[in-house]
Amino acid sequence: MKSTEIKHNVQNLIDNFSKEEFVFDLLVAYGISKTSVTRLKKGDYNLSKVDGELLYKKKIFYKVEASDKLLSSIEEVAKEERILKQQPRFAILTDFKQLVAKDLKLGKNLDIQLKELPNYFDFFLPLAGSEVYNASNNNEADRNASYKMADLYDLLIEENPAIYNSKESIHNLNIFLSRLLFCFFAEDTEIFKDKSIFTDTLAQHTAESGKDTHLFLNDLFDRLNTENADHLPEYLRKFEYVNGGLFGQKIASPIFTSKARKTLIELGDLNWSEINPDIFGSMIQAVVDKDYRSDLGMHYTSVENILKLIKPLFLDELYDAYENATTINQLRALIKRISKIKFFDPACGSGNFLIITYKEIRLLEIKILEKITDLEGQSPTIKWTEIQLSQFYGIEIDDFAHEMAILSLWLAEHQMNKVFEERLFDYGKSKPILPLKEAGQIKQGNATRRDWNEVCPISSTDEVYVIGNPPYLGYSRQDETQKEDMKIVFSRVNNYKKLDYIACWFYKGTNYIQNTKAKYAFVTTNSITQGEQVALLWPLVLSKGQEIDFAHQSFKWTNNAKGNAGVAVVIIGVRNIDGTDKFLYNQNLKQSVKNISPYLANTSNVYVIPRNKTLSKLSPMIKGSSPGDNGNLLLDQEEKDKIISKNPITAKFIKRYIGASEFIKGTNRYCIHITEDNVKEAYKIKELAERFEKVEIFRLNSKKLATKKKAETPHFFDEDKHQEGEFILVPQTGSERRNYIPIGYFDDSYVPSNATRVIYKVQPWLFGVISSRMHIVWVKAVAGRLKMDMQYSNTLCYNTFPFPDITNKQKENLNLYVFAILDERAKHPSKTMAQLYNPTTMPKGLLQAHQALDTAIEQCYRLQPFKNDTERLEYLFKQYEEMLQKDTLFAKQKQSRKKK
DNA sequence: TATCCGACAGCAT
DNA sequence: ATGCTGTCGGATA
């Protein structure tokens, strides 16, 4: 079945709507056979025993729900085991006005008016057996053009190698390319009156050798900058005056070869009207940046994601104002307001946020004008657009991208003018595009160092929206310039060095909007809302009378780049406190909330600060041992067998090595772990001595002083924390999917790696505390993340964890539950921890043992059971605050006593 | 200065 | 697409 057919079916079902038949019609619309649906209706296929529910294996769960419960109910359904057992792809709830659905495989949500369903029909396409169609082919025109531009670029560079000799000539080349692109667009999209005028004239007036191509282009670009062309030859007079912005500066065109000229003409022959200025700019940007060449436009932000930011920031509110305006005066006032708003992207790249915003604002204006026209009746007084490109401000560090942003805004203006004419000027009234009158206010520069107020001046009454997707870089990936940027931006702040580079934009954004009506919102790495960065960044923002007014919780960033890791991002909007509604989005579910904490949760603003001692009375936890060896002190099974068979005595220098991966996947790894008194003996073994030497060389080459020093003892780990006796092991990184943290128990024949956290000299009940649901709820809330997966930390997760003092008797009781868990694990010796703790394959007995432990742990806190994780977390946060208060009080007393 | 630890527009399978 | 490494700079005592 084709997707257009399905869309048609869905429209049909809405047009002939029946409450009783709705869900059945829906299934039929997506191509489920009539016989199956009949059997479902009769009840044969319905696996739910609850009245009014429909549970169709591997397909859907459906229920009619009260309006006020739709959103809460869908979250419950998504967790209910009896439902998940049947693996429905979708959960669908409706009150026949609204429809809320969840894709249980992808975790995506849908929350729409039922009558809008035909517009969102693709959400349920997997029901028809096809995954949602992949949009990657849609950009083929952009891709082809970009690759061809890359060819031309390479040819020009080859013929004009001197271009790279100065910054100025690179800049000139950028402008030159930008002018070519403008001409390609102009001749295909009626900006130039005659179609193909650029390519045709070029082909006719230049020699095949390419030798005079640059002269032709010099003359042509001069002409495009000249208002009065009377004195020029006829072939140039045919062109129009464009303006003094794009063509103002006199630049010598690069020399062409015959191949370059041919490529230029081929480029002109492409159909540029199909090219989409939203993303083309980002792709073409890759042309001049060789590193990105293979992944054209890797970092461009999709329209979908841009809307996720601009809708809650301003567009939704403007549309509300539009809906509520009923008189011509009100509507005109709204246009006036819109025409005064400033949109500012201080990391604008090739301008996608500004372009999409521009288009959306123009569309809104068209709608307002249509409404005015309706009200005015017979003789509408339509004016030209009030929206100016000069309302759009940007800063971009990359010179070429900044040229592309300026160009793309012109093209977007032209595109929207066409839409404007089509929708409003049925009488053929039009306005000449050329000469281009004004441009967006895009400045080239480093946004972390420039004064934003100078780029986009702001007064206390100005309506300004700051938007964008600035660069993210964790502190260890920043280069020297970026570190210097951080130093300048945070010159008045202590303890900023571990912040992500993007924190510069948040801090400057906060200073920029202070005491104004402006707001800002950025797409950002989720790192600044998790782990240790939260308490570093957010006090700087929230202490200035500002608040998070909307946020999208973590979602996976998708880009077309090959070989590039995914990254999890959030979208955060900040404003000066104003007491109006706040919205928290999870996937596409929108929830009105009382507060949005810096962790992007609906709780008060509590900061969990890393501690080096436990808050509760628990044994100390430390990081595992770090080899710092470039792999030379570590052995896999094969290497170990080989080395021992050759020289059996080495066995005494080898211990088992256990990291998160070895523990979770059940693989074997070994390490060379020797003590002070057998160093000499170890060096006698050739294989070991060779490895030590490699370690020494590696450490000497390190930038870090401490590591260089450790080159003196290459036979030891860089940081050896190993102790005698048994220990509990917690993997540093673990999948987000698990409901429990898999914890291990090992003896000292194992050395735990730096990818673990361990507790030596331990009692079993502590194993129970860390394995508990209470603990993972806490960890999920406060831990840092790698993508979406948890990063367990002793200082942040364990040392901060509030756990009550318990009696020895309680401890002994907990021990029993821990033994039960270990027993259950032992029943499955062939299964890895990954299998045991995968929520879909977890053995029932193990799950039950964990649940029994959970109850016992929770009773240490209070007798009344917890209803859900939200309640658990609330309780834990409260405990944390109380215990922290007592702790600091105690510390102060201690200090004052010392002073006496 | 010695010691300890979180993070990763990531990295490997 | 899943799921965790190892090296590094920064902070603390």
DSSP secondary structure letters along A157-180: HHH-GGGGG-HHHHHHHHHHHHHH
Query: Which residues pair with residue A343 across a beta bridge?
Result: A392, A465
Do residues A227 and A337 both lie within one domain?
no
Whether residue A453 is contained in a domain is answered as: no
Residue identified by tokens 């288009």 is: A359
| Nearest nt (C1') from A701 Cα | C7
Q: Is the distance from CB of A536 to CB of A506 less than 8 angstroms? A: no
Which of chain B's bases lie under 7 Å from a protein CB? 2-12
Nearest-CA neighbor of A412 among A548, A600, A280, A544? A280
CA angle A299, A305, A311 (to 5 degrees): 140
Which residues numbered 86-115 in chain A sit less than 7 A from strand B, measured from CB?
none
Question: CA(A704)–C1'(B9) in Å?
Answer: 25
Q: Is the distance from CB of A97 to CB of A114 less than 8 angstroms? A: yes
- Would you say the C-beta of A477 is within 7 Å of strand B? yes
Given a cut of 50, whether residue A900 has pLDDT beyond it is no
How many domains in chain A? 6
Average pLDDT value for residue range A800-816:
97
> Residues of A448-458 as b/e, b for ≥16 C-beta within 10 angstroms?
bebebeebbeb
Do residues A160 and A250 both lie within one domain?
yes
Which residues numbered 481-520 in chain A sit less than 7 A from strand C, measured from CB?
483, 495-498
Do residues A620 and A634 both lie within one domain?
no
Classify A356 as helix, strand or coil.
Answer: helix
Least confident of A549-563, A619-633, A635-649: A549-563
Question: CA(A627)–C1'(C8) in Å?
Answer: 14
- Would you say the C-beta of A780 is within 7 Å of strand B? no
Q: How far out from the chain centre does Cα A342 lie?
A: 25
User: Residue A754: CB partners within 8 Å, gap ≥ 6?
Assistant: A623, A624, A625, A626, A627, A659, A719, A732
- Look at residues A576, A607, A638 and tell me which one is the last residue of a structural domain: A607
Half-sphere exposure of A473 (CA within 13 A, CB side): 15
Whether residue A311 is contained in a domain is answered as: no
Q: Is the distance from CB of A241 to CB of A191 less than 8 angstroms? A: no
> Residues of A62-73 as b/e, b for ≥16 C-beta within 10 angstroms?
bbebeeeebbeb
Do residues A163 and A247 both lie within one domain?
yes
- Would you say the C-beta of A835 is within 7 Å of strand C? no
Given a cut of 60, whether residue A298 has pLDDT beyond it is no
Which of chain C's bases lie under 7 Å from a protein CB? 2-13
- Would you say the C-beta of A476 is within 7 Å of strand C? yes
Whether residue A854 is contained in a domain is answered as: yes
pLDDT in tens, A356-374: 999 999 999 999 998 898 8
- Would you say the C-beta of A755 is within 7 Å of strand C? yes
Provide the phi-psi class of A684: left if phi over 0, else alpha when psi is between -120 and 50, else beta: alpha
Classify A492 as helix, strand or coil.
Answer: coil
Which residues numbered 686-705 in chain A sit less than 7 A from strand C, measured from CB?
702-704
Smallest CA–C1' distance to C13, residue: A612
When mean pLDDT is compared over A85-94, A188-197, A266-275, A623-632, the highest value belongs to A623-632
Average pLDDT value for residue range A711-740:
95
Given a cut of 70, whether residue A628 has pLDDT beyond it is yes
CA distance A302 to A197: 33
CA distances from A758 to A552, A654, A721 (A): 35, 20, 10
CA distances from A289 to A40, A161, A264, A282, A480 (A): 57, 16, 20, 11, 20
- Look at residues A718, A739, A760 and tell me which one is the last residue of a structural domain: A718
Least confident of A73-77, A104-108, A484-488, A810-814: A104-108
Do residues A479 and A592 both lie within one domain?
yes
Nearest-CA neighbor of A469 among A523, A541, A546? A523
Average pLDDT value for residue range A183-201:
92
**pLDDT-derived band of residue A44, with 50, 70 and 90 as boundaries?**
confident
- Would you say the C-beta of A299 is within 7 Å of strand B? yes
- Top pLDDT among A222 and A892 is at A222
Do residues A833 and A896 both lie within one domain?
yes
Do residues A58 and A153 both lie within one domain?
no
- Would you say the C-beta of A527 is within 7 Å of strand B? yes
Q: Where are the beta strands (DSSP E) in A116-240?
A: none
Whether residue A736 is contained in a domain is answered as: yes
- Top pLDDT among A264 and A304 is at A264
Main-chain phi, psi angles of A117, to 5 degrees: -50, -45
CA distances from A881 to A434, A852, A864, A877 (A): 64, 28, 21, 6
The predicted structure's pLDDT at residue A430: 58
Whether residue A38 is contained in a domain is answered as: yes
What letter represents residue A611's amino acid? R
**pLDDT-derived band of residue A588, with 50, 70 and 90 as boundaries?**
confident
The predicted structure's pLDDT at residue A150: 85
Do residues A615 and A595 both lie within one domain?
no
- Top pLDDT among A414 and A140 is at A414
pLDDT in tens, A411-420: 889 888 888 8
- Would you say the C-beta of A276 is within 7 Å of strand C? no
- Would you say the C-beta of A699 is within 7 Å of strand B? no
Q: At what angle do helices A277-288 and A399-424 cross, to 10 degrees?
A: 160
Sign of the Cα pseudo-torsion (A62, A64, A70, A76, in order): negative
Which residues numbered 740-769 in chain A sit less than 7 A from strand B, measured from CB?
754, 757
Domain carrying residue A663 = 629-718
Question: CA(A704)–C1'(C9) in Å?
Answer: 8
**pLDDT-derived band of residue A139, with 50, 70 and 90 as boundaries?**
low
The predicted structure's pLDDT at residue A136: 35
What letter represents residue A72's amino acid? S
- Would you say the C-beta of A567 is within 7 Å of strand B? yes
- Would you say the C-beta of A66 is within 7 Å of strand C? no
Number of residues that make up chain A? 900
Do residues A96 and A216 both lie within one domain?
no
Do residues A278 and A339 both lie within one domain?
no
Average pLDDT value for residue range A733-758:
95
Query: Which residues pair with residue A442 across a beta bridge?
Result: A394
Q: How far out from the chain centre does Cα A325 lie?
A: 36
- Would you say the C-beta of A627 is within 7 Å of strand B? no
Omega prior to A435 cis, within 30 of 0:
yes
The predicted structure's pLDDT at residue A881: 94
Whether residue A456 is contained in a domain is answered as: no
CA distance A53 to A85: 15
- Would you say the C-beta of A500 is within 7 Å of strand B? yes
Q: Is the distance from CB of A606 to CB of A880 less than 8 angstroms? A: yes
Q: Is the distance from CB of A472 to CB of A567 less than 8 angstroms? A: yes
Could you tell me the two tokens for A568? 């999890």
Do residues A95 and A111 both lie within one domain?
yes
Do residues A787 and A799 both lie within one domain?
yes
What torsion, rounded to 10 degrees, do the Cα atoms A181, A183, A189, A192 define? Answer: 160
pLDDT in tens, A470-525: 999 999 989 999 999 999 999 999 999 999 999 999 999 999 999 999 999 999 99
Whether residue A460 is contained in a domain is answered as: no
User: Residue A869: CB partners within 8 Å, gap ≥ 6?
Assistant: A773, A777
Whether residue A271 is contained in a domain is answered as: yes
